[in-house]
Structure 1
Amino acid sequence: MANYIKEVRTLVGHKPMILNASAGVIANDHHEVLLNLRTDTHNWSLPGGYLEYGETFATAMIREYKEDAGLDVALVKSLGIFDQGFTEYPNGDVTQVISQLYLVKPVGGHTLEQATDETLDLKYWSLDDLPPLLNQQTADMLAAVKAYFNQLKVES
């Protein structure tokens, strides 16, 4: 059921909703992460988005990564669930988002070279020098990614 959230919004208006989302993180060899500049809020986030009715976290993340970044990805590892994501969008929609974060690797496609209806730009960012982010949940997810990479360094 495509556009499930849009259909629900026609019924509830801008009232706060709890929604499920999925995001993925790709890191380059320098542990910089790929972020997308969003068209709706004009700040940066991990490629990902809301689940459509019937989707799993994994299938939604794969679909959203293709839409947001142009890349086909494969799951590498789950990095956790984040349930303290509150966002008020410019159109007045309010959400509490429960997000599943995955480490992913590119397996096809190519990075978007022009703006779309969801993404203005894509760029790799150092985890120590991040741009303005969508919300606290995005910051929390990137902190978890940084902790994961730091743990890998300790173990090697």
Structure 2
Amino acid sequence: MDYISSLRQHIGTQPIIMCGACVIIENENGEILLHHRTDRDWWGLPGGAMELKESLEDTARREVLEEVNLVCKKLNLLNVYSGPELYYKYPDGNEVYNVTVAFTCKDFQGEIVVEKTEGRNAKFYNIDELPMNLSHTIKPILEEYITRRKG
């Protein structure tokens, strides 16, 4: 059982602070990988919650491998995000205030294979042609990333 599921057995659905990581994976064409979630009709970034004894870099790499079957090599820190705009209530009622460490990665290998319990699809998008239904929790991350790229 993972850390968050174990914690939920004791506290139920009440809000918790959840630390995690996500990765903006950029291909050779400058496009970024988005992951279409199954819990909502939203596109997000590969990533998820940190497990006990894991570094945030390990969390990022594990989540990318689990969700889209890619191996991230060199990770670069983009920023750390927190606050009310990263609040999320899952369809099952669980509430979280995310603390998300965002990394970027251009050095990866593998072929995209989407793990079907968490994702419907994953594909690369041009930063000027992102889908409208983005998860609200990744919007500040993508805004900063795009501003830095264009700046």
Whether TM-score is above 0.5 comes out as yes
Quote the residue 2:119 is aligned against. 119
Q: 1:106: how far off? A: 4.3
Q: 1:110: how far off? A: 1.6
Work out the number of aligned pairs and report it: 148
Q: 1:109: how far off? A: 2.6
TM-score, normalised to structure 1, is 0.88
Quote the residue 1:47 is aligned against. 46
- In 2, the alpha carbon distance for the partners of 1:36 and 1:66 equals 12
Alignment of 1:1-156 (within 5 A): 3-84=2-83, 85-112=86-113, 116-131=116-131, 132-135=133-136, 137-151=137-151
Aligned-residue CA RMSD in angstroms? 1.5
* Preserved contact between residue 31 and residue 149 of structure 1 (Cα < 8 Å): no
Which structure 2 residue ranges, 5 or more long, are not aligned? none
Q: 1:67: how far off? A: 0.8
- In 2, the alpha carbon distance for the partners of 1:27 and 1:107 equals 9
Q: Deviations over 1:64-107 (max 9, x none)?
A: 00011110002331000001211111111111000001111343
Secondary structure (helix, strand or coil) at the match of 1:75 reads coil
* Preserved contact between residue 71 and residue 106 of structure 1 (Cα < 8 Å): no
Which structure 1 residue ranges, 5 or more long, are not aligned? 152-156
* Preserved contact between residue 70 and residue 111 of structure 2 (Cα < 8 Å): yes
Could you tell me the percent identity over the aligned residues? Answer: 26
- In 2, the alpha carbon distance for the partners of 1:47 and 1:144 equals 17
- The code of the aligned residue for 1:123 comes to K
* Preserved contact between residue 33 and residue 125 of structure 1 (Cα < 8 Å): yes
Q: 1:6: how far off? A: 0.5
- The code of the aligned residue for 2:127 comes to L
* Preserved contact between residue 48 and residue 63 of structure 2 (Cα < 8 Å): yes
Q: 1:147: how far off? A: 1.6
Q: Deviations over 1:110-129 (max 9, x none)?
A: 211x5521111001122233
* Preserved contact between residue 21 and residue 100 of structure 1 (Cα < 8 Å): yes
